[in-house]
Structures are given as C-alpha cells and as structure tokens.
Amino acid sequence: MSDVFNIDGREVPFTPGQTVMQAALTAGVFIPHLCYHPEFKPHGSCKLCTVKVNGQPASSCTLPAAAGMEVESNTPEILDKRKMLLQMLLVEGNHFCPSCEKSGHCKLQALGYELEVMTPHFNQFYPNRPVDASHHDVLLDFNRCILCELCIRASAEVDKKNVFALSGRGITKHLIVNAESGRLADTDFALADKAAQVCPVGVILPKRVGFAVPIGQRRFDAAPISAHVDEFVPVAPARQGERQ
Amino acid sequence: MPEALATIVTEVVDKHGRDGTRLMQILREVQEVHGWLPPAAITAIAAAVGWPRARVESTAGFYSFFHTQPRGRYRVLWSDNITDRMLGNMALMDAMCKKLWLEPGRVSEDGLVSVDTTSCTGMCDQGPAVLVNYRAIPGMTPERVEHMTELIRKQVPVADWPAEWFAIQDNVRRADILLDNDMAPGVALAACFARGPADSLLAASNERSWREGVHTHSQGPSATLDEIKKSNLRGRGGAGFTTGIKWEACHHAPGETRYVVCNADEGEPGTFKDRVLLTRQPDLVFEGMTVAAYVVGAAKGYVYLRGEYRYLLEPLNAVLSRRRQQGLLGRGIGGQPGFDFDIEVHLGAGAYVCGEESALIESLEGKRGVPRNRPPYPVTNGFLNQPTIVNNVETFAAAALVAAKGGDWYRAFGTAKSAGTKLLSVSGDCARPGIYEYPFGVTVAQVLADCGAADTQAVQVSGPSGVCLADNEFGRRIAFEDIPTAGAFMVFDRSRDMFEVARNFTHFFAHESCGFCTPCRVGTSLLKNLMDKIADGHGTQYDLNEIYKLNQLLQMAAHCGLGHTACHPLFDTMEKFRPAYQRRLKSLEFEPAFDLDAALSQARQMTGRDDAGAHLESAEEAAK
Amino acid sequence: MNAQAVKPKVRIATTSLAGCFGCHMSFLDIDERILPLLDVVEFDRSPLTDIKRCGPCDVGIVEGGVCNAENVHVLREFRNNCKILVAIGACAANGGLPAQRNHLDLRDILEEVYQTDPGVGHGGIPNDPELPLPLNQVHPIHEVVKVDYFLPGCPPPADAIWKFLTDLIAGRTPHLGHGLIHYD
Ligand SMILES: Cc1cc2nc3c(=O)[nH]c(=O)nc-3n(C[C@H](O)[C@H](O)[C@H](O)COP(=O)(O)O)c2cc1C
Ligand code: SF4
Ligand code: SF4
Ligand code: SF4
Ligand code: FES
Ligand code: FES
C-alpha cells in the first residue's frame, strides 16, 4: 500500500504527516469544517468534520492520515450528525442572519445551506451576550460566536498579541478579551490583525462597512461552500505529532 | 488595587517562583486569603507570571471553585449527588436559605454569605455533605443547619467552628491486601533496589543521555517493571489500561525528563475510595509513585488532588516531609546514587473533567482543564510536553504492593483476567455504606448482602458514566471482563425513582462539560432541559426520541469520555426502568418546550390581570 | 399543473403571527404563477381571503414567531386543522427580529415603553382584557406545536416558495437546493 486512503470510494493520496482533512481538501474532496483553517494547527472542537474511519468515528481535521484507511464522510448517518451540530450552534447563540453583515460570507450559514438545515430544530437558548462596540474600528458581536478559537489562535500565533481567550465552561463558555475592563478598546487589537480576518461567522466585524458587497453576490451566493474547496487547501506543510 | 491585596498577590506569586504553570495554586492561595479574585488581582498575577491577562482570566473562569465575582465571606456549597438528595439535602439547603433570607446561588445583600449546590464532594457514605469555604463537613442535620446559620450570622470564623463537624469517617467495612497492609515505609523501594545492583542507576544516567530513553539495561528498574507486568495490574481509574505497558512506554519515550502523576481527582459521583486510601495509606500511594519514578526515570511527581479534598493537603504534606526525612524522597533515595525524586500535591478547583488525564495535565500546567487531542498521548508528550505517566491513586498503591511482594504474589488474587483487589465506594440505600475491598470477581449480590442492602431495585456501578444494573443482573461480577468499575457502587431500593436518579446525573454532566466540543457543550445542556421538561410533566415520546438522537451524536462526535458517556445513565434507566419514564409522559405526541401559562407571568404581574384571557391552558386542556 | 386540476383542490390556510407580513408579500411575488396555482389550491383562513377561523385544511402556512397569547391560540387552531403545518420565514423558525427582545426582561420593557419613556410612556401599561398578553420571550413556532416543514428566509424568495409549494402539492418532499435556501 502506498500513501493513499479511500474516502467515500475515492482514492486520496497523502504525504506523511497530513491529516485526513488536509489530504482530502488537497485532493479536492470537501469535508465540512468550522474550526479547521488552512493556516492553523488543527483544533478539533467543532466536530463538523466527523467521519468514520474503518467503522470508527473520528475528527478528520486532527486524525493523521494512514495508508489504506477506509473513510466514510457523506453517508446519511454522518450527514445527519453534522446537521445536528449545525443546529446546536445555531440555537446556542443568537443568529439573526438578516441583520448580520457576514451573511453570504458566513461558513456556518453556508454549511447550513450545504447540508440543507431548514430549521434550528432544537430549543433556542437565547443567551444574553452584549455586543462590544468600544473599539474604534471593530465591532464584536458575541451573539454569533461559535467558539472555534480561530481568533484566539490567530492573535496568539500570528499577531503575538493574545487579544482573545475563553472563559467559563460548558454552555456558559464565552469569548473574552485581554483587558481588565473587558473592553476591546482597551486591548492592542487592530483592524489589520490576522485575528480580525479569521472569524468564520459574524463576530469580529469592521465598523462602517455595510452591504459593501450586495446580497446575492457574496462569497457563498454564487457557489455552495463545497465548491470552494480549493480555498481551504492547507498552506503550510502539515506538522504531525505537534501538540495542539 | 488595595495594598493588602497587592501584598497577598506578591507573597503568593513569589512563593511559586512567578511560574505560570503553578497558576492553579496561585489562584487558590490568593483566593483563600482574599475570598475571591478581583480583576486587579488577575491583572497583577498575570503580570507577575508573565502571561497575557486574558489567559489567567481564562483559567480562573473555568473552575467552579474560583470566583471572579464576590461570593460572600461564607460560601456554603451543598454536595448534590443523588445520594445526598436521598439523604434529604435539598430540604436542608432550603431551610438554610430561609433562615438566611437567601435564594440559592445568590450572595446576601450584605455580602456575608452565599448558598449553592456543587457536584458530588465524595462524602456519599456520610452525607448530606457541604463545603464551607472549601472545607468539607459531612453528616448535615437540621440541628447542624440551625447551628451553622447561627455561626454565620454571628460571623464566627470557620476555623473556630466545632472541630467534630470537620471529622471525616473512613468507614472501612471490608479490608483486604491494600487496606490491611501494614508495610513500613520504604519496604517496596528496598525490594526494587534488591532486584538490581546499587550502582546501575548512576552508571546508566552517566553513560546514556535522557533523550535516548533511560537506563534500559539497568537491572533494578527493568526488574521491577517486569514484576509490574507480571502482576497484570490494570488501571483503577476507570479505563483499565495495563499499568506495565503504560510505564514501559514512558520509560522508552525520549524526553528531557519524565513525570509521574497521581490522579486523585476522584470526581465521579459516588466515588470516595481514593479519599480513604490517601487518609489511611498515604505512604503506600507515595511509595507506589516513587516505584514508578524509579521504573520510568522520573525526577518529579505530582498528586492532583481534587479541590473538594482540600482538607487533606496539610496531612499529605506532612507525610511527604517525613518521607523526605526518611530518605524516601529527595536526592539519592534509599542510598541509590542518581535516584532523585520528589512529590508535590497540587489542588484542583472543582472540575470533574480534570480527572481525564490530558485535561489533568493541562490543569497542572495552569490552564483550563480541556482534554487534549490525541495522539500524542501523555506517555510521550505529557506534562510540559515530557513523557508522563498518569495513574489512579489505587493503581499506585497496588503497584507498591507488587513492587514489595512480586507480580506472582499479586496476580494470585482476583480472577484470571483481573488481578488483585478492588476498592468499592458503597453508598445509597444500605445499612453499612463505606469502603469495601474485594478480590476481583465478587458478585454484585455479595456486595449488596455485605453492605446490608434490602429490597434493592438497582445499583449504579462506576458512577454516572458507568452502568445501571437491575435486579436480574446482580449475579454479575466486578471485574474487567464483566462489570469494570472505577469504584462507585450506589444502591437504590424500590422506593427510589430511577428517573430522578438519571436526571440528577444529567445535571451533573451539563454542569461539568468543559465546553470544548460542540456536541457535549450544547448536547449535555439540551439533555438536561429535556429531562427537566419530562420531570415537569411536559414530556412526550418525542422527547424520548430526541434523547435517543442526542445519545447517538454524543457517542459518535464528543471529544472525550465525558461526552461519550453523558447519556449512559439515561439510556440504562430508559431501557431497564421504562415505567419510571413512561408514567411521566403525556399521551400527546408533542408538548411545548416550555410552560405556556408561566410564560405569561411577567405580563400578568405588570398588568395586574388574572382574567381567563390572561392565562393559557395546556395543549391537553385546549384540545378538549 | 393541468393534469392535477381534476383532483380536489389542495386547501391552504396562511397566517402571520409575530411577523411583518414580508413572507406573505414574498408569496405574492410569485406573480402570474399564482394563476396556475389557483387551479390546484384554494385558500382557507388567510390574509388573502376574509375567512376568520381556520377550517380543515391540507396545508397551513405560518409566518412569524409566537409573541403573545393570541399567537398561541391561532397557532393551535392551525395545528388542529391542518394536516401539514409549514413554518415560513426566519421569525417562525427562530423568532427572528421580534426575538431580539429576548435577552431583556419583559417587565423592564413594559415599564420602559409605557411608563418611563418620555415620548410614549404616559398611559400606563394597558390592561384591557381584550388585549392579548405578551409572553416572557418570543418563541419559534416549533417550540409550541409540532411543525412538519420549514421554509427559511427573511423572507424566503418567491422562487423558493414556488418550488416548495409545487413540490408539496405534487407529493414530493420539498427540496430547495443551492440559491433557494437562504436564512436572510
Ligand atoms: C471525564 C473523565 C473523568 C475521569 N476522572 C478520573 C478520576 O477522577 N480519577 C482517575 O483516576 N481517573 C479518571 N479518569 C481516567 C483517566 O483519564 C485515566 O485513564 C486514569 O487516570 C489512568 O489511570 P489508571 O490507568 O491508573 O486507571 C477520567 C476519565 C474521564 C474521561
Ligand atoms: S454569523 Fe452567520 S449564521 Fe450567524 S447570523 Fe451571521 S450570517 Fe447568520
Ligand atoms: S469570535 Fe469568531 S473566530 Fe473567535 S471564537 Fe468566536 S466564532 Fe471563532
Ligand atoms: S421572516 Fe422576515 S420577512 Fe418574514 S415575517 Fe419575519 S421579518 Fe418579516
Ligand atoms: S473542523 Fe474538525 S473539529 Fe472542527
Ligand atoms: S466535555 Fe470537554 S470535550 Fe466534551
């Protein structure tokens, strides 16, 4: 067996050290994901990328690829679980897409369309999460945070600023910023930061931008997210065994 | 920041060498003096340890026992395991709240006191139990509630409360090779040294670098490892991993140093045997850790002690210093040149998930107790990214016996597949709750007979994440090959409502989910809400189907064992005690998610209306 | 559609609870396609007709979330009379815009609006028994009754409504696909 595994009947080559997700995306096979980002180490928290490998469930974004693996991804059973996860994220926060500047660019929404999530299904939590409008250039609308930690990772690893972190646990887990006042304005966050660019949903939004791109012409309007697979191909060589 | 607080912070951070990985201890010690962790203290601690402030706040915000808001000078937490409930803790808590003019969870207006619940505190054989300012008090009675509220009102310091309140019973009902052991400190280590030449360690450490793996040819350590392997000792913390294999993997793993970690988090509701081992046999546990250090080549060990057992810190530290004086810890242990090892007790702060070994390691490093992605495993990349073994308290105690008396001696106890003995923490409906040590293979029925249980309906073995056994299964055996257990054994007689048992466990999991992964973070709360809905009389078959679907998702997609097992109690009880659920269900196929009439309460209050139009009948009444 | 015209017409009721009628407007945006549609469907209670109580129907289409006691009564009437109940629009599916009040305490809202607000807050909180009382929170309709189908969008585009209805009437499981399924 050479360095190839099988996903839903398709052969996927991989280089040693790549995860199943990285290899699949490189080969043009889309696997739904939210906390995975091509420029960052795998995180493994959203669980959208759940697959079955040789019959056992696994997170494809953290699982190192191995020759001969039989990976199931788009089976009815797995699609059903992914749908439930999206519905959980939708009811956990407050997602009112019509008033969200991210609409059309949002990966949560786009995956909802991709997987035909017609209803949030579960009972809404309606959490109380006040927005932070203190910063001159950036608005934080925590209502839409799906806790993927991409902003945390970007701020720590790329910007070297550690502007974001998590507090609380369980269903009360929430995003915090690096200031005694708790306000973004009192951090050294800047619009040019990597952390300002990575949010897959509509939490970290530049101010004074409204309908810059008309609805209907936004990122996921023209083609479903699965057709954007080339945008998610990992940029850095994979690093296996590294601690997350 | 007030000067007094600044002084406390400086003292504490200096004591810990301004080392961020010691953050849990720093936060606890500051809070023990100041009562809570004000924003300015977090800022100062962050500056002292050189961490971003948000990261310190992040850790402080994760643990139930750390407070970034004032929680009252007296903080009373009622242990809320089902066994405490069965002993009437809710009525006692309500009485206490009434006397103090308090709502549970709220701080009194004068900032004096708050009363709340907390996950099982490990006093199930002597409940109802409370923690007062994180000091354990078992055996609460109406009289004690009365007296305690008096003391709080008069602001008597907890240190001056009646000493007998703080007395914790061991309640050892059946002792075997572990609990009956009266080996002198150092005997197991001496046996290890006797298996190999005295100079082998030093020779090994001189000629081989740590990176290559330690002293593989040194006879003492490998001879002892052979005994551990021969004994067929398996982990007592729940997963039952073979101890010898774990130690060997760590021994071979390249690293700059190695660590031995004793998992004394004992968070599984209904489990309290590690508490008794650490009270009765601390030397055996420490000796087991030292044996492990000798085998894997570790220089440092930690005991991760759950915050609920705070009262054990000083006694354990006293044993550690005695062992140092005896030459059983420190440099050149037992006169073996090169064998340097010491142990430190680290306290947790109220987070069940920290019993999961990789979450425990994160916590030891001063972070949120979130399970890591694996691989890599702790044996290769553990504490501070170095090879680390994590074992349960009881595993180390057993390992010390094996080291002293040999693998063959040990595996003669128990069954062919489960060597040795197991400590059970028996609680619930029985005459003699407490600790029972049995050779593996004992039947559930035997345990029930020994503890004086009558008219037993069910036994929850190994806690909420274990299994619920009905009476037709009492012939089954406690053993890895039949009913594996981390030690909990909660007994329910026929007067108990098994639905309420499952509901209590569901609340536990929702409270303890670390929140890292979506299915567990959201799913455990959805489950809790569904169980509450059924309890409130609004349940339908639809809700049971929802539970079924959530279970499948958690099994498939949760990140750690907590999420995988969060549905177990619901599932077992739904299957085995169906009527407990069925009789609560409405016949309708759908009931609203919330109480419609109650949802008009605020509008009624504000308008003063109470006419028929100001109420909503239930769907059932509306259908008539 | 002509082939089906001989069959008994599909009876449809529609209503708007806590919604803005946007979904109904979008429905009318199917424009001239309403004519072939009317060959196969007839309307029961609906803002498009003048029928006040919903009778037995094949399909009930509900716009808007559940904000007050009257919404609950109407929703139950629909559920009891319609074989298939459809939630249309963001408000029916997750509370939508009206639910943006959910993080506030209703008592504070009533006080602010009717008592303290300098502009309108004079008359005190209305307590006429004719008026339906508001619920503590706004809820999507599936939290109050069982819902069979959801048609998301704020509002769903006319093409989506058309596709949905034609699928449903033809006895197919409604399927929107990319471009028609929208949350905004
Ligand atoms: C949620 C969770 C909680 C756990 N809690 C404990 C615990 O309190 N004590 C313990 O020894 N092991 C606990 N474990 C098991 C540990 O992860 C680990 O397997 C064990 O400490 C290994 O020691 P052993 O091999 O000696 O059993 C827990 C596991 C999970 C998933
Ligand atoms: S973040 Fe995405 S899903 Fe949430 S409101 Fe915005 S567009 Fe909708
Ligand atoms: S703000 Fe955005 S990037 Fe940051 S954790 Fe929330 S969803 Fe992820
Ligand atoms: S979904 Fe949008 S269009 Fe429809 S009623 Fe609600 S706000 Fe109006
Ligand atoms: S993409 Fe794999 S868990 Fe989020
Ligand atoms: S509880 Fe942390 S992963 Fe589920």
Please work out, in degrees rounded to the nearest 5, the angle formed at the alpha carbon of residue A109 by the alpha carbons of A108 and A113: 120
CA A191 to centroid of ligand 5, rounded, Å: 26
Cα B481 from Cα B477, distance rounded (Å): 8
For residues B612 and B530, is the Cβ–Cβ distance under 8 A? no
Neighbours of C129 (CB within 10 A): 12
**The two structure tokens encoding residue C59:** 């399909």
C13 contacts C78 by C-beta, under 8 angstroms: yes
Report the nearest atom of ligand 2 relative to the CA of A202: 1
pLDDT at A239 over 50: no
Closest alpha carbon to B35 in B62, B59, B2: B2
CA distances from B316 to A122, A226, B277, B308, B355 (A): 48, 58, 11, 14, 19
User: Ligand 6 atom 2: the closest Cα is on which residue?
Assistant: B514
Q: Which of A117-126, A226-235, B369-378, C112-121 has the lowest mean pLDDT?
A: C112-121
Q: How many CB atoms lie within 10 A of CB A242?
A: 12
Its CATH class, for the domain covering B74-169, is: alpha beta
pLDDT of residue B389: 98
For residues C85 and C89, what is the distance between their CA atoms, to the nearest angstrom?
Answer: 13
**Domain edges within chain C:** 10-101+134-169
User: Hey, what's the torsion of the CAs at C63, C68, C72, C75, to 10 degrees?
Assistant: -10
pLDDT, one tens digit per residue, over A183-217 is: 999 999 999 999 999 999 999 999 988 778 888 88
C-beta of residue B24 within 8 angstroms of C-beta of residue B312: no
Quickly name the fold that domain B421-496 has.
Ubiquitin-like (UB roll) (3.10.20)
Measure CB to CB from residue C181 to each of A113, A121, A128 and give the nearest one. Answer: A113
Q: A32-73, pLDDT tens digit by residue?
A: 999 999 999 999 999 999 999 999 999 999 999 999 999 999
Residue among A31, A37, A22 at smallest CA distance from A198:
A37
Looking at the DSSP bridge assignments, the partners of residue B459 are B469, B491
pLDDT the model gives residue B216: 47
A97–C184 C-beta distance less than 8 A: yes
Per-residue DSSP letter, A132: B
| Per-domain residue ranges of chain B | 3-62, 74-169, 187-411, 421-496, 499-582, 596-624
ipTM surpassing 0.85: yes
Q: Average pLDDT over chain B, rounded to whole?
A: 94
| pLDDT confidence of residue B206 | 46
State the average pLDDT for chain A: 94
Segment C59-86 shows an average pLDDT of 96
Instruction: Check: CB of residue B263 under 8 Å from CB of residue B304.
Output: yes
Six-digit token string for A52: 């079955």
Output DSSP code: residue B457: E
pLDDT of residue B199: 53
Are the CB atoms for B49 and B90 separated by under 8 Å? no
Q: A149 CA to middle of ligand 3, Å?
A: 6
pLDDT tens string B62-115: 999 999 999 999 999 999 999 999 999 999 999 999 999 999 999 999 999 999
Overall fold of domain B499-582: de novo design (two linked rop proteins) (1.20.1440)
Give the mean pLDDT of B607-617. Answer: 91
pLDDT of residue A216: 82
Q: What global pTM score does this model have?
A: 0.95
Query: Ligand 5 atom closest to Cα of A31?
Result: 1
Nearby residues of A205 by Cβ (< 8 Å), 6 or more positions away:
A101, A102, A138, A139, A140, A141
Q: Are C161 and C27 in contact (CB under 8 A)?
A: yes
Structure tokens of B263? 């998992």
Give the pLDDT confidence of B300-321 residue by residue, as tens digits: 999 999 999 999 999 999 999 9
Task: Look at residue A120 in the predicted model and tell me its pLDDT.
Answer: 97
Of A122, A171, A241, the CB nearest to B515: A171
Nearest CA in chain A to B558: A47
What CATH topology corresponds to B187-411? Rossmann fold (3.40.50)
Can you spell out the DSSP letters for B397-433?
HHHHHHHHH-HHHHHTSB-SSSBSEEEEEEEESSSS-
The CATH classification number of A4-74 equals 3.10.20.740
CA of C51 to the centre of ligand 4 (A): 23
CA distances from B389 to A57, B372, B419 (A): 26, 15, 21
How far apart, in whole angstroms, are the C-alpha atoms of residue A137 and residue B140? 56
Cβ contact C168:C149 at 8 Å: yes
Q: What is the DSSP string of A134-173?
A: -SSSEEE-GGG-----HHHHIIIIISS---EEEES-GGG-
What's the pLDDT tens digit per position in C113-147?
A: 888 777 665 678 888 989 999 999 999 999 999 99
Q: Count of CB contacts below 8 A, B vs C? A: 65
The residue of chain B with its CA nearest to that of A43 is: B373
Q: Does B602 touch chain C (CB under 8 A)?
A: yes
For C10-101+134-169, CATH gives 3.40.50.700
In chain A, count of helices (H) and strands (E)? 5, 9
Q: Residue B380 and residue A107: Cα distance in Å, rounded? A: 36
Q: What is the pLDDT of residue A215?
A: 81
Q: Which residue has the tokens 């400590």?
A: B423
Q: What percent of chain B has pLDDT over 70?
A: 96
Of the given ranges (A159-163, B202-206, C5-9, C94-98), which has the lowest mean pLDDT?
B202-206
What is the DSSP secondary-structure string of B96-159?
Answer: HHHHTT--TTPBPTTS-EEEEEES--S-GGG-S-EEETTEEE----HHHHHHHHHHHHTT--GG
Question: Among candidates B177, B127, B164, which has minimal Cα distance to B425?
Answer: B127
Mutate to test the pocket of ligand 5, among A20, A30, A31, A35 (most ligand atoms within 8 A of CB): A35
Are the C-beta atoms of B492 and B457 separated by less than 8 Å? yes
**How many angstroms separate the alpha carbon of residue A236 from the centre of ligand 2?**
29
User: Can you tell me the distance from the alpha carbon of B318 to that of B563, in angstroms, rounded to the nearest whole number?
Assistant: 38
Cβ-defined contact of B522 to A88 (cutoff 8 Å): yes
Residue B247 has pLDDT above 70, yes or no: yes
Q: Residue B619 has what pLDDT?
A: 66
pLDDT at C5 over 60: no
Q: What residues contact B537, with CB distance under 8 A and at least 6 apart?
A: B584, B586
The candidate with the shortest Cα–Cα distance to B282, out of B248, B308, B319, B250, is B319
Closest CA to A21 of A1, A2, A9, A43: A43
Cβ–ligand 6 contact at B359 (below 6 Å):
no
Q: Is the domain covering A97-206 a CATH 3.30.70.20 domain?
A: yes
pLDDT tens digits for range B452-483:
999 999 999 999 999 999 999 999 999 999 99
pLDDT above 90 coverage of chain C, percent? 75
DSSP conformation letters of B469-498: EEGGGTT-BBSTTSB--SSEEEEEETTS-H
Instruction: List chain A residues with CB under 8 Å of B53.
Output: 178-180
Residue C1 in this model has a pLDDT that exceeds 90: no
Indicate if the pLDDT at residue A242 is higher than 60: no
d(CA C179, CA B493): 59
Residue B382 has pLDDT above 70, yes or no: yes
The secondary element (H helix, E strand) that includes residue B585 is none
Which residues in chain C are contacts of A125 at CB distance < 8 A? none
Nearest CA to ligand 6 atom 3: B559
Measured in degrees and rounded to the nearest 5, phi and psi for residue B309 equal -100, 30
Burial B353-381 (b: 16+ CB within 10 A, else e): bbbbbbbbbbbbbbbbbbbbbeebbbbbb
Q: How many contacts does A have with B, using Cβ atoms within 8 A?
A: 131
User: Tell me: the pLDDT tens digits for B487-520?
Assistant: 999 999 999 999 999 999 999 999 999 999 999 9
Whether B623 has a pLDDT exceeding 90, the answer reads no
Q: Summarize the confidence of residues C55-64 as an average pLDDT.
A: 96
- Sheet architecture: strand order including A70-72: A10-13, A4-7, A70-72, A50-53, A56-59
Ligand 3 centroid – CA A96 distance (Å) = 17
Mean pLDDT confidence for B288-306? 97
- Using the CB atoms, write b or e for C57-79: b if 16+ within 10 Å: bbbbbbbbbbbbbbbbebbbbbb
CATH 3.10.20.740 residue window(s) in chain A: 4-74
The answer to which of A51-60, A233-242, B213-222, C61-70 has the lowest mean pLDDT is: A233-242
Q: Which residues of A touch C153 (CB under 8 A)?
A: none
CA angle C26, C32, C33 (to 5 degrees): 75
The predicted pLDDT at position B207 comes to 42
Chain C contact set for A91 (CB, 8 A)? 94
Q: Is the pLDDT of residue A241 over 90?
A: no
How far apart are the C-alpha atoms of B322 and B340, rounded to whole Å?
16
Quick one: average pLDDT of A14-41? 96
pLDDT at B200: 53
* Range B192-203 average pLDDT: 69
What are φ and ψ of residue C54, in 5° steps?
-80, 125
The finding on whether C96 has its CB within 6 A of some atom of ligand 4 is yes
Which residue's CA lies nearest to atom 7 of ligand 1? B355
